[in-house]
Amino acid sequence: MFLINIAAAAALWSGSSRLITLAPSDLLIIALYFAMVLGIGVYLRSYAKTSNDFFMAGREMSAWVAGLSFLSANLGALELMGWAASTYQYGILAAHFYWIAAFPSMVFLGLVMMPFYYISKTHSVPGYLKLRYGEATRALSGISFAFMTILMSGINMYAMALVMKVVLGWNIHFSIWVSSLTVAVYVALGGLYSAIFNEVLQFFLIWLGALIIPVLGLIEVGGWSGLVKKIYERVHSNDYVHLWSTLGTFSGNPMGVHWTGIVFGLGGAIAFGYWTTDFLVVQRAMAAKDLRSAQLAPIIAAYFKMVVPLIVILPGLLALAVLPYKLVPESAVRPGLHSYNEVLPLMLARYAGPGVLGLGITALIAGFMSGMAGNVSAFATVWTYDIYQPYMRKHQSDDHYVRVGRWCTIIGVFLSIATAYFVTQFQSIMDYMQALVSFFIAPLFGTVLLGMLWKRTTPKGGFWGLLTGTLSSVAMFAAVRAHPAWLRYVALSPDARDMAENLYRALWSWLICVLVTIVVSLFTAPKPKEHLTGLVWAYTELPTSEPMPFWKKPIFWGAGVAVFFAILQWIFW
């Protein structure tokens, strides 16, 4: 009735790593997808002749194309598999990473920060920091960001390899190399043009394939009420299906987090930091054809972001209700056991039949390629413009920098392969990913925010604040690993789990960065006003937009996101 594959179940109970055999129709769908993305890369190669074309897609994207690419660059295999795993681990609390982490940070990016990025015509966030603070801060942020994107790309590789291993029984190393080299080819050929157009294609494929699990799963359990009932019967608690009502204490929910960690750690430091300073996504909005389109891109993406839990959170909740065995942390996997990270492929194995399976696998491959392409294209841009050009080879031809960008794409892929295996040291993919965000993104947001909004911020203040914030986050992580009892000082409770620790660590690193930046700035000399025009709110004259109806303005659609957000919080309180 529910397309449960008998052979898959037998393979699972026998301890085999292979759950499904692909039918010819499934293989055809997957082969057509690989051919399509490579074809797009080859076709768009002729459009990526200059560095502006290769790194910024010629700044010709419409608001809708930039917005869908903006979200798709984030909606990779890391998201699909990682948050399904975290939902199994922490319950519906994982949805906060889509709702309070989408609003208001994505709207703030569109309405407040995009004008600065777009008007300065910088190619990257480190590029903005160079204009605002100087070369030292640009170098620090560029190197740390390049390092982070390689680690993030490695997570995507590992996630895709898990799909191939669990669902198809393929060798994990073969899976990594085939998919990684495909991404390397199409991004190296077409640059950001190719990445964006493939991301838009992948956005629709991801939704088409990933909806299989929530639709068939809800039919099996009898809708939302049936799902809640089954989860309660399995775990004897309703803590897994409420967003806010369990956050009054650290011990009252599976994440071991207080509402302050969700609101200030996630909704503040992590969400604002990621969506406003991570060049992986900001680069897509900056490729828009005009300022209004650049502002609308993240706002359009915010609407889609808040419905993504349908395809990533629901599968994790369904797994809690229907899987007949218990999943374990990645670090505890033994023969015959499956980890949290394998929730999505296990659920796909449960519901997908011939043809449908091929579509589902293609959706996961598309998600992997989308996330990885975003990371390697961002790495190539930051390395070329913010490290190679200013510090290694100045004043070279435009063709030279395009060639360097193509080679950086290839090199980035190989470096990512080397980092893919770090994931095994963490309980789940998302615990690892949020740890990286707390290291690199949260303090960076403090530096960028003060630089844009406070004209008194000085170059030395920006550099030392960013350096201190980053090092303090890494130090807190190392301290808790060396002395687990110190968790009560970082996460404010011994009941905190890994994700809660990440939220509070991000908050502390942001506060440290801001405090150090302010103190150092008060004792050092700021830049003169003429050097801050277009970089600081007080000295920036935003271009006036053409007269248009109110409903076409970015602020109107930003207010709509707020309404949508409030409704979702009320429903799942």
Domains identified in the chain and CATH numbers: 6-424+545-571 (1.20.1730.10)
Burial class (CB in 10 A: 0-12, 13-18, 19+), 14: exposed
C-alpha 271/C-alpha 257 separation (Å) is: 17
- Render pLDDT for 552-567 as a digit per residue (tens, 0 to 9): 788 888 888 889 889 9
For residue 101, the 8-state DSSP code is T
Residue 195: the pLDDT is 56
Contact between residue 80 and residue 343 where contact means Cβ atoms under 8 Å apart? no
Average pLDDT over residues 250-266: 91
Q: Is the pLDDT of residue 334 over 80?
A: no
Residue 79: the pLDDT is 77
pLDDT-derived band at 196, boundaries 50, 70, 90 = low
Residue percentage of the chain with pLDDT more than 70 = 72
pLDDT-derived band at 16, boundaries 50, 70, 90 = very low
If you average pLDDT over every residue of the chain, what do you get? 77
C-alpha 433/C-alpha 426 separation (Å) is: 10
Q: Is the pLDDT of residue 434 over 70?
A: yes
Torsion sign (Cα): 64, 70, 72, 73: positive
- Other Cβ atoms less than 10 A from the Cβ of 3: the count is 13
Lowest mean pLDDT among 11-20, 57-66, 378-387, 420-429: 11-20
CA atoms within 13 A of residue 95's CA, in its CB half-sphere? 24
Cα 105–chain centre separation: 14
C-alpha 328/C-alpha 345 separation (Å) is: 15
Average pLDDT over residues 432-443: 86
Residue 456: the pLDDT is 93
Residue 6: the pLDDT is 31
pLDDT-derived band at 10, boundaries 50, 70, 90 = very low
C-alpha 300/C-alpha 305 separation (Å) is: 9
C-alpha 211/C-alpha 220 separation (Å) is: 14
Mean pLDDT is highest, among 175-179, 286-290, 304-308, for: 304-308
Of 246 and 16, the one with more pLDDT: 246
Query: Can you tell me which residue has the tokens 């915010």?
Result: 302
Residue percentage of the chain with pLDDT more than 90 = 16
Residues 6+ apart with CB under 8 A from 407: none
pLDDT-derived band at 549, boundaries 50, 70, 90 = confident
Q: Is the pLDDT of residue 450 over 90?
A: yes
For residue 438, the 8-state DSSP code is H
Q: 469: closest CA among 260, 256, 275, 273? A: 273
Residue 15: the pLDDT is 38
Query: Can you tell me which residue has the tokens 């490695």?
Result: 154
Contact between residue 2 and residue 353 where contact means Cβ atoms under 8 Å apart? no
Residue 504: the pLDDT is 95
Give the residue ranges of DSSP H helices in 266-308.
Answer: 271-277, 279-286, 291-305
What's the chain's Rg over C-alpha atoms?
23
Average pLDDT over residues 98-107: 87
Lowest mean pLDDT among 119-123, 453-457, 485-489: 119-123
Residue 381: the pLDDT is 72
Average pLDDT over residues 387-399: 74
- Other Cβ atoms less than 10 A from the Cβ of 238: the count is 14
Residue 71: the pLDDT is 72
Of 395 and 299, the one with more pLDDT: 299
